[in-house]
Amino acid sequence: MITREYRFPLNSSTVPAGEPVLTVSDVGLRFGGVQALDGVGLTVRQGQIHAVIGPNGAGKSSLLNCVSGLYRPQRGTIRLTRADGAVDLVGRRPHQIARLGLARSFQNIELFKHLTVLENLMLGRHHRMSHALLPALAWFGPARRQEIEHRALVEEVIDLLELQVVRHQPVGALSYGYAKRVELGRALCMQPAVLLLDEPMAGMNAEEKESLARYVLDVNELAGVSVVLIEHDMDVVMDISHTVTVLDFGRLIADGPPEQVRTDPAVINAYLGEAAR
């Protein structure tokens, strides 16, 4: 086996392994007459892969959007544990939440399609870079130095996710599998405290799923990043996650280790079906 020493830690959370890093409690979200989330709570522990599953319309993506600040829940708290104590994410704007260490991917690929893979990944470094105008116009000096400095970390992510061959390609021209991997990479370049992945394997065939699952495991095991994973493929979920939360119609119906959730009657009834028993 080839192992490689990485210079930069990709995980920025200082919470000890197994302790809660992200705590969602009693979150309620309503769109007009639709109660998208109704008193949902879950605890993501440092170093785990935490899967969120449920039928279509169960509120999985809504929950993720609440965490990353795209939606604002009417009720509840979402706390991120940091070295300087817990901060409530509710009411903060998406870019502020991103700067606190929440990185995410989207269900439909949301890359910057006219930019190259490298530029997309460098944008993952955006919130840790200086954006002063005059150095940018002058280029030589701080701006150039900063580009080179951050490029070193980006190259490690390229290495981890094996994106070398597409480095300079515009992402609009990439295959679906590569594009999904670039999105994962962009989130990783942020050196997140928690990584939120919204259906990273949707629309993939078995081999592509397997390959992406491997990358998610590498991110979790090698880089030590806590992952919240929304996914429909039960085999993947049961295989790689440490904890599974099941939603149905905006309510939490089960929460626990995969083997326990798999046999939960409420989950079988709402989502898995009798055949899974």
Single residue of 115, 202, 222, 234 touching another protein by CB under 8 A: 115
CA dihedral 238, 21, 197, 224 (to 10 degrees): -80
Binds another protein (CB under 8 A): choice among 86, 87, 123, 222:
123
Please name the amino acid found at residue 241: S
d(CA 20, CA 46): 6
Under rule CB under 8 A, residue 119 binds another protein? yes
Q: Using the rule CB under 8 A, is 135 a contact of another protein?
A: yes
Site for another protein in 189-208 (CB under 8 A): 190
Query: Which of 30, 75, 82, 126: binder of another protein (CB under 8 A)?
Result: 126
Q: Among candidates 198, 182, 190, which has minimal Cα distance to 9?
A: 190
Bridge partners, 78 (sequence order): 24
Task: Verify binding: residue 136, another protein, rule CB under 8 A.
Answer: yes
Vertex 106: Cα angle to 218 and 181 (nearest 5): 35
34, 165, 173, 206: residue in contact with another protein (rule CB under 8 A): 173
Torsions phi, psi of 87, nearest 5? -120, 140
Query: Are 214 and 183 contacting, i.e. CB atoms less than 8 angstroms apart?
Result: no
Q: Shortest Cβ distance from residue 185 to another protein (Å)? A: 12
Least Cα distance to 266 among 237, 235, 245, 241 occurs for 245
Does 70 engage in binding with another protein (CB under 8 A)?
yes
Q: Could you tell me the smallest distance in angstroms from the CB atom of residue 135 to another protein?
A: 8
Residues that bind another protein (CB under 8 A): 68, 70, 93-95, 98-99, 103-104, 106, 110-115, 119, 122-127, 129-133, 135-139, 143-144, 146-148, 150-152, 168-170, 173, 186-187, 190
